[in-house]
Chain A
């Protein structure tokens, strides 16, 4: 574990060096510990693949002597000194219905052709897998998912589209995910979900949180059009 400043208002706690479930569990455990410790001055936590940033207000860090950074760093080191036997709450499984192909997934056929399989094969491989939400970032509600089957990993398009509709499911390299808002995007668009990945009117605005498991479920166009939350 390594702690270092991220500017003068944040501490970056690094817990690993690669994307994988073991490192992810360490990150989740660290987040839980820091949340639980309710440290004065901490204003936000941003977990990522292998680290968690602790954003803080230097005025509010307890103690005196040394810099606010040094005092917070030392406190974090104490709180995180033994992360090995962390009990994590069981992960939620979130189901995301997806209408694959046609106008909602304009690149599905191209992805299938590239991998010398049928569109149905791509759908089956994409929706059979159980994914892990490693982190949420890039934009509100955007979840970085791990677990895309290597067989359908597809390089990003050379010409990104300027406006990908919200809810679009895509594949970019070995990543898959859902665009929560209209956005420029270079991923291969294979389908769309009628669910809102980000909705400020909802109690929990973002549908997916770090640590969730995700499964995509194929639905028909009729089900897509008739979908009600």
Chain B
């Protein structure tokens, strides 16, 4: 970010990591992010996959694949994703990860500057994408799902319930103080934590624009451009807050009136235009405690799967 290159990456990092976990991948393996509507993917070889995050009604040759579950897709079969019924974004993980180059230590795509991923652009019809070498854990999971008749094998196990939330269309998101929270007018401060805000149609991977009663500062302030974070809530002159997301610019000049707790970023990432969001305050200590607890859960889930699938037993 020192060179002005955005952090990028998955909007819902937790779902992305769980998807990789379910297929035995390293957490940072490249996955496919599908927003609102998903692709159809034909598999040239038998492949272990998982879909996590929003439910885009995945099916493999007509057999429904429930979200948050791994599946072994036979060679020649087609995975179809439809429109989102819960959440907004689904992550498709493939054992071995998607084989795309590492640019600036990341396999993500940055559309604006056209680098990373498949030629720096969104995937389109006709693209053929390769996968990396599956891990031994992936191979054991795949073996456990293999079916005699070449049918789709779907895992009956999944990650723990706390790692696969039910996405709400009006979640309450926890917000830490921003640098300039104390400059909000008192009525605005009240409104921030009592009213609901609508996700605007102009929301995207750079930021989610929130519509509602406009907020304002007690007094206008001239700010120097400085760093922002994933989840920074800015207040531009019009009074409609923006929550900065994965493809945000590295710096900004608008007042920062809040910071979304990292553990709640997935809740925002799974909202679509027309959905609503509410906010409640959280202290830094509590936010970090929640983050550490969730990391412990992910580590535990990984350890559990490794124990189950690294010894070659089903």
Chain B 2-19 interface mask (CB, 8 Å, partner A; 1/0): 111110000000000000
Segment 162-176 of B: residues with Cβ below 8 Å from A: 176
CA distance A141 to B2 in the complex (A): 10
Tell yes or no: A117 within 8 A of B by CB.
Answer: no
B5 touches A140 (CB 8 A): yes
CA distance A10 to B149 in the complex (A): 53
CA distance A17 to B222 in the complex (A): 11
Tell yes or no: A49 within 8 A of B by CB.
Answer: yes
A10-B288 in contact given A46-B2, A139-B112 (Cβ < 8 Å) = no
B227 touches A10 (CB 8 A): yes
Tell yes or no: A30 within 8 A of B by CB.
Answer: no
A58-B2 in contact given A135-B225, A181-B112 (Cβ < 8 Å) = no
Residues of the B chain whose Cβ atoms lie less than 8 Å from the Cβ of A62: none
Distance in Å: Cβ of A11 to nearest Cβ of chain B: 10
CA distance A55 to B6 in the complex (A): 13
Distance in Å: Cβ of B282 to nearest Cβ of chain A: 9
Segment 52-68 of A: residues with Cβ below 8 Å from B: 52-53, 55, 58-59, 67-68
CA distance A49 to B223 in the complex (A): 10
Tell yes or no: A8 within 8 A of B by CB.
Answer: yes
Tell yes or no: A90 within 8 A of B by CB.
Answer: no
Residues of the B chain whose Cβ atoms lie less than 8 Å from the Cβ of A216: none
Residues of the B chain whose Cβ atoms lie less than 8 Å from the Cβ of A181: 112-113
B3 touches A209 (CB 8 A): yes
A136-B103 in contact given A5-B176, A6-B227, A51-B227 (Cβ < 8 Å) = no
Interface hit among B43-51, B72-80, B258-266: B258-266
Distance in Å: Cβ of A68 to nearest Cβ of chain B: 6
CA distance A72 to B292 in the complex (A): 15
B232 touches A67 (CB 8 A): no
CA distance A136 to B4 in the complex (A): 6
Q: Which of A6, A19, A53, A138 contacts B4 (CB 8 A)?
A: A138
Chain A 126-142 interface mask (CB, 8 Å, partner B; 1/0): 00000000011111111
Tell yes or no: B122 within 8 A of A by CB.
Answer: no
Chain B 259-299 interface mask (CB, 8 Å, partner A; 1/0): 11110000000000000000000001101110110010000
Interface hit among A80-88, A99-107, A186-194, A198-206: A198-206
B288 touches A8 (CB 8 A): yes
A49 touches B288 (CB 8 A): no
B259 touches A198 (CB 8 A): no
Residues of the B chain whose Cβ atoms lie less than 8 Å from the Cβ of A69: 284, 288
Q: Which of A12, A142, A200 contacts B226 (CB 8 A)?
A: A12
Distance in Å: Cβ of A164 to nearest Cβ of chain B: 14
Q: Which of B3, B227, B295 contacts A205 (CB 8 A)?
A: B3
Distance in Å: Cβ of B292 to nearest Cβ of chain A: 6
Tell yes or no: B1 within 8 A of A by CB.
Answer: yes
| Least CB separation from A141: chain B residue | B4
A137 touches B5 (CB 8 A): no
Tell yes or no: B59 within 8 A of A by CB.
Answer: no
Residues of the A chain whose Cβ atoms lie less than 8 Å from the Cβ of B226: 12, 46, 48-51, 53
Residues of the B chain whose Cβ atoms lie less than 8 Å from the Cβ of A47: 2
Chain B 88-120 interface mask (CB, 8 Å, partner A; 1/0): 000000000000000110000010110100000
Tell yes or no: B207 within 8 A of A by CB.
Answer: no
A12-B176 in contact given A200-B115, A205-B3 (Cβ < 8 Å) = no
Chain A residues in contact with chain B, CB under 8 A? 4-10, 12, 17-19, 44-53, 55, 58-59, 67-69, 135-142, 144, 181, 198, 200, 205-206, 209-210
Q: Which 10 pairs across A and B sit closest by C-beta, in order of nearness? A: A137-B251, A53-B227, A7-B259, A46-B227, A48-B226, A206-B3, A7-B229, A8-B287, A49-B224, A136-B4
Please name 10 further chain A to chain B contacts, defined as beta carbons within 8 Å, in addition to the given A12-B179, A50-B226, sorted by A numbering.
Answer: A6-B227, A7-B230, A17-B224, A58-B291, A59-B295, A136-B3, A138-B225, A138-B251, A140-B110, A141-B4
Query: Can you list 14 pairs linking A and B with CB atoms under 8 Å apart?
Result: A4-B179, A45-B2, A46-B226, A48-B224, A48-B225, A49-B224, A55-B229, A58-B291, A137-B227, A137-B250, A137-B251, A140-B3, A140-B113, A181-B113
